Amino acid sequence: RWLRADIVPIRAGLLREGARTEAVLLSFIDLTPQRRVEQMRVDFVANASHELRTPLASLSGFIETLQGPARNDANARERFLKIMGEQARRMSRLIDDLLSLSRIELNAHLRPEAAVDLVAVVSHVRDALAPLGRERDVEIVFEHPAGAVEVRGDRDELIRVFENLVENALKYGGSGGRVEITILRERTDALVTVRDHGPGIAPEHVPRLTERFYRVDTAHSREQGGTGLGLAIVKHIVARHRGKLGIESVPGTGSTFSVRLPSGPVEQKKKPV
């Protein structure tokens, strides 16, 4: 450890008694944490640039082809314009996600405190994603307690969390199955789980899923319109709400993503007198 380049001396001194040297004092500082943050920042910029450059290169290629060889080919023009539209949407999704991430990070210290009903939030998400469910032939099942399950937070951010989780379950959970969303009221928490019965995720990937741009299968994620930032955004929003994100997955069986949020103590039902 002492030989590593990140441990650098910052001060040296001698403790003297008359002409005799009693001790030599050396102070060191460990720059490892700063270097790690610096490295993460450099990697993030490199990854973001690479992710933006890929659709941009494809757009430039199609523009050149449309100006040259395919200039008079109406069929090719139609097809190429469709792909170009998809690439432009991909860039715009990525920019939206990058901006969301930096906004959430910037506000990480602020606690969103509005009263939000999780049942209403998840119902909204289920309705918004119902067309994708039908497209994938996946049934979305939603179970929740009667009445509202209230937490303190930001409604739009919480919608974002469950949109990401349910959309992932629909995208990666395989077609023709079921996605189950459950809300449970626990003593001082609310617990929302999103379960799919897809191929699951190998254990070595699970701890890294919330890293920015981490994907198990990059090509498959891109094909599904993924940016690789969804779970990083989820993690940050959940942390800002003093919550916990849990990921459990059994390859071949499916995955369960859970979000635990503090909801305050559940009112004890008064015993009838």
* Residues of this chain that bind ligand ADP (CB under 6 A): 164, 168-169, 172-173, 196, 198, 201, 209, 215-217, 221, 226-231, 255
Distance of CA 68 to the CA centre of its chain: 41
**245 contacts 234 by C-beta, under 8 angstroms:** yes
Query: How far is Cα 109 from Cα 233, in angstroms, rounded to an integer?
Result: 15
The two structure tokens encoding residue 93: 């999704």
Rounded least distance, CB 139 to ligand ADP, Å = 16
CB nearer to ligand ADP: pick between 62 and 90: 90
Give the three-state DSSP class for 142.
strand
CB nearer to ligand ADP: pick between 144 and 160: 160
**254 contacts 195 by C-beta, under 8 angstroms:** yes
CB nearer to ligand ADP: pick between 62 and 257: 257
CB nearer to ligand ADP: pick between 137 and 217: 217
Rounded least distance, CB 190 to ligand ADP, Å = 21
Rounded least distance, CB 54 to ligand ADP, Å = 14
Rounded least distance, CB 164 to ligand ADP, Å = 6
CA distances from 16 to 10, 11, 21, 88 (A): 20, 16, 4, 71
